[in-house]
Chains A and B, each alone.
Chain A
Amino acid sequence: MKTLFLTLLFVSIPICSVFSQDPALEESMQRGSEIYADFCVTCHLEKGEGVPHTFPPLAKSDYLMNNREASIRGVKFGQQIEIVVNGVTYNSAMPDPGLENEEVADVMNYILNSWGNSTDKMVTLEEVEATQK
């Protein structure tokens, strides 16, 4: 019986770590998904696919994954700079969405870990606070 229990325990630990994420990240992503549905979805669309040449994709976006700080800055303050995402140039302005710092962290965690994106490091409130214009 004990052996069975231990076996189950040892088998379940790696399985859990694969299937269940850090609960803090999960909660942040859940809140972030609501922010996304309110502020982001009309342009970046339901699966983060965006609109070619107009609204950059977030799903599997090389710009997003390689420019973490600039992406946080864009969400925090809005942006009007030319960027290249997956080989396509974008030059439309994104207005300042007017989010609180916690909300910026939550929506960043959502988009950094959805639609095939993933990151090892959770975006924290401190990280957003430290991001300057």
Chain B
Amino acid sequence: MKKSIILFQLIVVTFNFSCGQESENQVDIPENSPFSAELLIDGLEIPWGMAFLPDGAILITEKSGELIRFKDGIRTKISNVPQVYQRGQGGLLDIVPHPDYSNNGWLYITYASSEGEEKGGHTALMRAKLKGNELVDNELLYKGSPNTTKGQHFGSRIVFGDDGYLYFSIGERGARDENPQDITRDGGKIYRINDDGSIPQDNPFVGTEGAKTAIYSYGHRNPQGLAKHPETGAIWDNEHGPRGGDEINIIEKGANYGWPVITYGINYSGTPITDKTEMEGMEQPIHYWVPSIAPSGMAFITSDKYEGYQGSLLVGSLAFQYLERLVLDGNKVVKREKLMGGLGRVRDVRQGPDGLIYVAIEGKGVYKLIPKS
């Protein structure tokens, strides 16, 4: 009798465990999509981030460290770009113009930097202005520390909130047991600063002894998507989990997102990380992907250029090489669609000022989605 109970429990455990890695939320492949994809900028290696300027130019960061301006069909290499620590997932990362760019000209850039005493590198945030073909007035605003030679999890995305603050992410730098749950250490965090790099006095850990006061939320693994919800103004992230634990989270002040104490994923080797998927005091994702799509880039569609797309969320998939459209009902994902399959690893997606969608794909370049009339 006892034996059969144990056997039964074993079966239940095995069943649950294997279920945990099965596809729980099916992705649909639509028969028709309301756009055709046109390769606007070709010959890029790893186009990591894109920024749209008021004069119609697009700035593209190449992970290798080049910043490229594309305007009227002409591409120019921008000089005086900060030196990047080119190792593993590190390099030149995101780029975002200030919301008031037309008046102040500030561009914000994240990159892997080896600045500091220790060997290795960590994620840094800087700002600069574009003058002719070079960056000027370069200012380092934040630098994660201490450096490490680990090649993993630099993050990093940047977004401005409606509150005027700048939010950016740093991944846990391959030190999951040291960084994400410790607010006195960098990594595995989403940060909030003023546009000049100073720390807002109402940040959640201002006044907490030893804390990195730029931290806004913690317990993250590797957020490579950050976007502002067009209606609520909330900051949403997507982040790489381990195998089977990629997430979308709504970022709240001072909140703990649980990595690595709670996760829906397992180690790449198939061994468990923890048996907990939830715990009091830790936030639940609004969506998680099983299997992992390896999400990068994130954009809400606010324009009405594409039939049926307004209000949905776009996320790039590195692992399965497509653009995912998530249909939302409030904060709930109700449908997933696979778009642009088979072109390559989708690294970034943005809605341009023209209301059109731009998609950066590794080994290819930047695609513009032309609406079908």
Contact = CB atoms under 8 A, between A and B. Distances in A.
Interface string A84-107: 000000011101111100000000
Given A38-B88, A39-B88, A98 B151 contact: yes
Contacts of A96: 64, 86
Nearest to B174: A38
B151 A97 contact: yes
Contact of A95 (B46, B150, B174): B46
A46 interface: yes
B45 A80 contact: yes
Contact of B268 (A45, A54, A92, A95): A45
Contact of A97 (B87, B150, B269): B87
A25 interface: no
Interface residues on A, range: 10 to 19
B270 A39 contact: no
Q: What DSSP secondary structure best describes chain B's contact surface?
A: loop
Q: What DSSP secondary structure best describes chain A's contact surface?
A: loop
Instruction: Pick from B45, B85, B88, B344 the residue with the most CB of A within 10 Å.
Output: B88
A65 interface: no
Given A80-B45, A98-B88, A38 B268 contact: no
A41 B151 CA distance: 12
Nearest to B362: A93
Given A42-B268, A98-B151, A93 B88 contact: no
Instruction: Pick from A37, A38, A45, A92 the residue with the most CB of B within 10 Å.
Output: A38
A39 B45 contact: no
Nearest to B46: A95
A42 B246 CA distance: 13
B99 interface: no
Contacts of A41: 268
B150 A80 contact: no
Given A39-B151, A80-B45, A95 B63 contact: yes
15 contacts: A38-B88, A38-B150, A38-B174, A39-B88, A39-B151, A41-B268, A42-B294, A45-B268, A46-B268, A46-B270, A93-B45, A97-B87, A98-B86, A98-B90, A99-B87
Interface of A: 37-39, 41-42, 45-46, 54, 80, 91-93, 95-99
Interface of B: 45-46, 63-64, 85-88, 90, 150-152, 174, 268-270, 294, 321, 344-345, 362-363
Given A46-B269, A92-B344, A98-B151, 17 more contacts: A38-B88, A38-B174, A39-B151, A45-B268, A46-B268, A46-B270, A54-B321, A80-B45, A80-B363, A92-B362, A93-B362, A95-B45, A95-B64, A97-B151, A98-B85, A98-B88, A99-B87
